[in-house]
Amino acid sequence: MALMTGEQYVESLRKLNLKVYMFGEKIENPVDNPILRPSMNSVKMTYDLALMPEYEDLMTTKSALNGEKINRFCHLHHSTEDLIKKVKMQRLCGQKTASCFQRCVGMDAFNAEYSTTYEIDKAYGTNYHERFKKYLEYVQENDLTVDGAMTDPKGDRGLSPSKQEDPDLYLRVVERRADGVVVRGAKAHQTGICNSHEVLVMPTIAMRPEDKDYAISFAVPTDAEGVFMIIGRQSCDTRKLEEFADIDVGNKKFGGVEALTIFDNVFVPWERIFLDGETEFAGMLVERFAGYHRQSYGGCKVGVGDVLIGAAALAADYNGAAKASHIKDKLIEMTHLNETLYACGIACSAEGHKTESGNYIIDMLLANVCKQNVTRFPYEITRLAEDIAGGLMVTAPSEKDLNHELLGPYVQKYLKGVASISTENRLRILRLIENLTLGTAAVGYRTESMHGAGSPQAQRIMIARQSNLGHKKALAKVIANITE
């Protein structure tokens, strides 16, 4: 089964014995839970699009491992064209869901693991690379969704993993056996893990020799013994539980979800381990994954931005303000910012190069510039969208009021905008803008733009490392005719 249908994906999740908790209770059926279902629908869209002829070139490709047709989310990039198509695919998925579609982290982890394991084997004579290739073939053959797990809780940021008062604040090996290891710890902010078949764990920072037990990378099924998830709270999330919820939700069908994922003495067999104690390679794995993931934001956030810009333009139409010069200028500015993000995503892809292992990596400097822009521009796009929408976006009565026998006629009468547009449709577009800027999609757009793929300062550190100031100084000396 090289490609699953969307419905096959849904049914495959039903077969998992996931341990998911939300609001203090265990969720017995995560697939159909009204809060979680929209996030699963977003992942399902990545399967549906792959089977549509018009998107085949973007959504599917040929496996570099077995030559079979696979979903691009399971792919190893083997050219700059692959890197560019990845960004275009992510923009498409963002446009179709207006949310986080959750498969990017696994894809970025695959590519970072592939090249890093090759170089570990070269240095130490280990067999991590072959183990990982075998694992990825399994993922590709079954068209699995894999959660990439990097971020540890971290505890005291001023202390290294092994110096923490509680040693479990970074995930670590607590026992070694003849057939594998036992790990304990947690991974925070796990996007879409309750919609994933597997979790691929990586270290979260560069390691020192004394942190050897924390330099671990492995994969286990998401329903492995000892793995459980605590769903993160989002603004407006319980609107989905309201009877006949529709307009008030904003984006009824799609959404994102995060979880604190606990690894409580989880056994990992040796064939699923891809780094174990080689501390000097932990930093390489982290930086390569971060580079790929920062490239991703030049696609996914742009696609969601396309929807937000469209919603703001419709709000202006419905308010009767579309012809105002300041509205036109704000929409131009939103488009300029959004396309600048896309340009960075394409640029770091086009400037990519081949690694020793054979797969391609992005230009690291441009990837970090891309993500640094993403920490800023979506906030301005959001501000402008809220400006265009007007205060009614956050003060509108509920859907129940709109449909109420007594109150409804007043809501219909006094919240009317342009005469040809129904009050209901005006409220629908305002609720979508609210969802994208303030509500449950804020995790997938605004706030995630700041903290996803590392903090803004992490990108600035990488920009400093990659900026090659010595070369720039030499250029200036030649032009200024300076000899030393």
Cβ neighbours of residue 435 closer than 8 Å, sequence gap 6 or more: 98, 236, 249, 250, 251, 441
Listing from the earlier edge strand, what are the strands of the sheet with 259-269?
25-26, 20-22, 227-231, 259-269, 180-187, 172-177
pLDDT of the residue at 161: 98
Predicted pLDDT at 441: 66
- Which tokens hold the place of 221? 């099924």
Catalytic, 60? Answer no
Is 100 designated active site? yes
- The per-residue pLDDT of the chain, averaged, comes to 96
pLDDT value at 244 more than 90: no
Q: Residue 209's CB: how many other CB atoms inside 10 A?
A: 10
- For domain 285-470, give its CATH number from 1.20.1050.10, 1.20.140.10, 3.40.50.10490, 1.10.3860.10: 1.20.140.10
The answer to whether residue 442 scores a pLDDT higher than 70 is no
Q: Per residue in 21-31, pLDDT tens?
A: 999 999 999 99
Tokens representing 305 are 């931005």
Clarify whether 340 is annotated catalytic.
no
Starting at the edge strand that comes first in sequence, how are the strands of the sheet with 198-201 ordered?
146-149, 198-201, 216-221, 273-276
Is 297 a known active-site residue? Answer: yes
Options 100, 194, 344, 348, the catalytic residue = 100
The one catalytic residue among 47, 135, 297, 318: 297
- For residue range 124-152, what is the model confidence (pLDDT) as tens digits? 999 999 999 999 999 999 999 999 999 99
Q: Are strands 172-177 and 216-221 parallel, antiparallel or unpaired?
A: unpaired
- pLDDT-derived band of residue 443, with 50, 70 and 90 as boundaries? confident
Across 227-249, average pLDDT: 93
SS3 content of the chain, % helix, strand, coil (to 5): 55, 15, 30
Cα Rg of the chain, angstroms: 24
Which residues lie closer than 8 Å to 276 by C-beta, 6 or more apart? 173, 181, 215, 216, 217
- Residues whose CB is less than 8 angstroms from the CB of residue 17 and which lie 6 or more positions away in sequence, other chains included: 223
Active-site entry in 46, 61, 97, 104 = 104
Please identify which of the residues 258, 278, 287, 386 carries the catalytic annotation. 258
CB-based contacts of 37, cutoff 8 Å, min separation 6: 31
| Rounded Cα distance, 426 and 418, in Å | 9
Q: Are 182 and 235 in contact (CB under 8 A)?
A: no
Residue 236 among the catalytic residues:
no
Q: At 257, which amino acid appears? A: V
Residues 6+ apart with CB under 8 A from 187: 149, 150, 151, 152, 171, 199, 201, 260, 261, 263
Look at residue 108 in the predicted model and tell me its pLDDT. 98
Residue 434 designated active-site: no
Chain-centroid distance, C-alpha 215: 23
For residue 455, pLDDT beyond 90: no
Q: Of the listed 74, 194, 300, 348, which one is catalytic?
A: 300
What pLDDT shows up at residue 243?
87
Contact 296, 239 (CB under 8 A): no
From 124, 128, 290, select the one nearest 206 (Cα to Cα). 290
Neighbours of 477 (CB within 10 A): 12
Given 97, 191, 375, 440, which residue is catalytic?
Answer: 191
The answer on pLDDT for 387 being more than 70 is: yes
Q: Looking at 93, 214, 293, 423, which residue is catalytic?
A: 293
Question: Is position 258 annotated as part of the catalytic site?
Answer: yes
